[in-house]
Amino acid sequence: MVSFTSSSTHPLVFLIIQVPASASLSYLTEVTLNHRMPSANSLLLTAAAAALPAAWAQTNGGDETILGVYMFHRHGDRTAKATAPANLTTLGYREVYTSGSYYRNRYVASSAPFQISGINSDLVKQSQISVLSPADDVLENSALGFLQGLYPPVGDSMGTTELGNGSSVTAPLDGYQLIPIGLVDTGSGSEDSSWLQSAQGCAKATSSSNNYFLSQQYQDLLASTQDFYGQFEPVVNGSFDESELNFKNAYTIYDLINVARIHNSTFDPNDIVTDDRFFQLRTLADSQQWGLAYNSSDDMRAVAGMTLAAEILEFLNDTIENQGQSKIGVQFGSYGTFMSFFGLAQLEKANPDFKGVPDYASAMSFELVTNQTLSAGTWPAEEDIYVRFLFHNGTTSNTSEPTVYPLFNSGQDTISWDRFANGMHEFALGSTEKWCTACGNFTGECAAYDPSGSSSSSDSQDASASAQTGNGISPAVNGVIGAMVTLAVVLGLEALVMLLGGFRLVRKNKLRQGSGGEGAEKIGEGVGKAA
């Protein structure tokens, strides 16, 4: 089996295991361990892909310019999901900072070999960069750590500003640079959730993923691995009940043990979690998560990847439309989004290891490139713009760099912008209406897009009800009736007052001729006016 290059101690691996329900653990172990070596076909595919960048460069004269970049990045090392809330560890902070430093040296620094055209090398220009993260502590803090490496403190010389009165002020923390992080709704709290689809809020995606639990593959693995998972009860420290130690919780069990192996040297004194068993735990977790994240016959399972595709496409399209004002976009997210996108972009056909869970601090990049020579103020024609996809499993560094892979089973590492945009449009969900319709969500903010029209018809009924009374009489008629009733009541009261008080109606000229005086005149006027 081909494994992605990784700086971690456990490479990303994946194996589809087809096991009869009656299979023994020894059978499963034999099948798993016999697939560690790379196949000849995989090696040939990797070699062919590696040769493509050079061929493209030779065809296009060997000179290219990076116009913009969009990155999707996983968080660094964290505490276990089973012991929520999850927190970024010091190791995780170091991982994302190292990754940020690498991509600074690749895209931002003045000496960067793939420097983005026109980008500020030292002092960040806010209009050139966009950073997004769900409202999740682990992901937000990972984004902060990455940005510290991408745009590190500038020191006193560049971090000092002279004020109007002649005095100077120096930025704190050695010129630490503040870069805002925009929050996205989907995926909020995902690192505390053992079931990532629950963080998406998409009804059809959740339903589709739940169908995986009804599949024959899942049922076979659930039955055949029951004893295998049962042996780990002594090392999970009560985090799982005996009934929960099974393939249904494959990832969270693996995650808990993986975190313990990294951070606790004494968690397994009886050596229950051998290297072979741990490899098996990882392989089974990969299988389960791929089944939950993507299905070629029901791609709604990959809604997280659909949303990401739209965000990538929107940013790179804006870069083209505004001729490079938007230069680098960075988004942090969960492994489930990676896997959903991998499936939609058919990356598992380029390398089967894309069916596995990416390691901490993994990153994929979309480079917008041209081979045209650009002078100041010029921009290439759209047909001269291309896209290149790169991925690295685990922390990226100068000793462990990303690899180019072909998108959409194209066999080419660099494809035209038009082909890229069309490929992404095949599955991207780029608007609220599209998302609501695809997900079958028609409540709340999605109510306006209900195809049955129940929302608008309900609004119409409410409006109609407010325009009529319970007896069906219109407001205009009700107004006339109300005025007449009021008038009748007033007249009735006046008649009663006149009867009891001895008053009577007379003409004004008779009052003036009599001896009633001022008071009588005013009373007469008042009654006359009222009548």
Three-state SS annotation for 306-375: HHHHHHHHHHHHHHHHCCCCCCEEEEEECHHHHHHHHHHCCHHHCCHHHHCCCCCCCEEEEEEEECCCCC
Cα(17)–Cα(1) distance, rounded to whole angstroms? 13
Residues 426 and 479 in one domain: no
Among candidate residues 393, 414, 430, the one where a domain is terminated? 430
Tokens 């192996």: give the residue. Answer: 261
Average pLDDT, the chain: 79
Q: What is the per-residue pLDDT for 466?
A: 43
Asked whether residue 163 is domain-assigned, the answer is no
Among candidate residues 430, 460, 491, the one where a domain is terminated? 430
Q: What is the per-residue pLDDT for 496?
A: 52
Cα of 347 vs its chain's centroid, Å: 20
Confidence band, pLDDT 50/70/90 cuts, at residue 284: very high
Q: What is the pLDDT of residues 448-459, one digit of tens each?
A: 888 777 654 444
For residue 442, pLDDT beyond 90: no
Phi-psi region of 364 (alpha: psi -120 to 50; beta: other; left: phi over 0): beta
Cα of 395 vs its chain's centroid, Å: 21
Asked whether residue 359 is domain-assigned, the answer is yes
Q: What is the per-residue pLDDT for 55?
A: 39
For residue 529, pLDDT beyond 90: no
Q: What is the per-residue pLDDT for 498?
A: 53
Average pLDDT over every residue of 459-469: 43
Residues 296 and 391 in one domain: yes
Asked whether residue 161 is domain-assigned, the answer is no
Average pLDDT over every residue of 280-299: 94
Contact call for residues 364 and 103 (beta carbons, < 8 A): no
Residues 426 and 484 in one domain: no
Q: What is the per-residue pLDDT for 375?
A: 83
User: In which domain, by residue range, is 148 found?
Assistant: 25-153+170-430
Residues sharing a CB contact under 8 Å with residue 38, sequence separation 6 or more, in sequence order = 1, 2, 3
For residue 447, pLDDT beyond 80: yes
Asked whether residue 6 is domain-assigned, the answer is no
Asked whether residue 487 is domain-assigned, the answer is yes
Q: Across-strand partners of 160?
A: 170
Cα of 63 vs its chain's centroid, Å: 35
Residues 420 and 482 in one domain: no
Q: What is the pLDDT of residues 68-125, one digit of tens each?
A: 999 999 999 999 988 889 999 999 999 999 999 999 999 999 999 999 999 999 999 9
Q: What is the per-residue pLDDT for 440?
A: 87
For residue 152, pLDDT beyond 50: yes
Residues 86 and 184 in one domain: yes
Asked whether residue 324 is domain-assigned, the answer is yes
Lowest-confidence segment of 129-138, 210-219, 491-500, 510-519 by average pLDDT: 510-519
Confidence band, pLDDT 50/70/90 cuts, at residue 512: very low
Residues 480 and 426 in one domain: no
Among candidate residues 371, 401, 430, the one where a domain is terminated? 430
Q: What is the pLDDT of residues 203-231, one digit of tens each?
A: 888 889 889 999 999 999 999 999 999 99
Residues 312 and 251 in one domain: yes
Residues 401 and 330 in one domain: yes
Asked whether residue 258 is domain-assigned, the answer is yes
- Give the domain CATH number at 147: 3.40.50.1240
Tokens of 291: 């089944």
Asked whether residue 94 is domain-assigned, the answer is yes
Residues 487 and 343 in one domain: no
Residues 117 and 228 in one domain: yes
CA atoms within 13 A on the CB side of 387: 28
Cα(80)–Cα(255) distance, rounded to whole angstroms? 6
Cα(288)–Cα(2) distance, rounded to whole angstroms? 19
**Which pTM was predicted?**
0.74
In the chain, how many domains are there? 2
Residues 490 and 418 in one domain: no
Confidence band, pLDDT 50/70/90 cuts, at residue 485: low
Of 1-15, 206-220, 255-269, 357-371, give the range with the top mean pLDDT.
357-371
For residue 154, pLDDT beyond 80: yes
Q: What is the per-residue pLDDT for 250?
A: 96
Q: What is the per-residue pLDDT for 470?
A: 46
Tokens 């070999």: give the residue. Answer: 113
For residue 14, pLDDT beyond 60: no
Q: What is the per-residue pLDDT for 186?
A: 58
Cα(469)–Cα(481) distance, rounded to whole angstroms? 13
Q: Pick the residue with more confidence: 484 or 261?
A: 261
Confidence band, pLDDT 50/70/90 cuts, at residue 144: very high
Confidence band, pLDDT 50/70/90 cuts, at residue 200: low
Residues 368 and 510 in one domain: no
Q: What is the per-residue pLDDT for 17?
A: 41
Q: What is the per-residue pLDDT for 149?
A: 97
Contact call for residues 303 and 106 (beta carbons, < 8 A): no
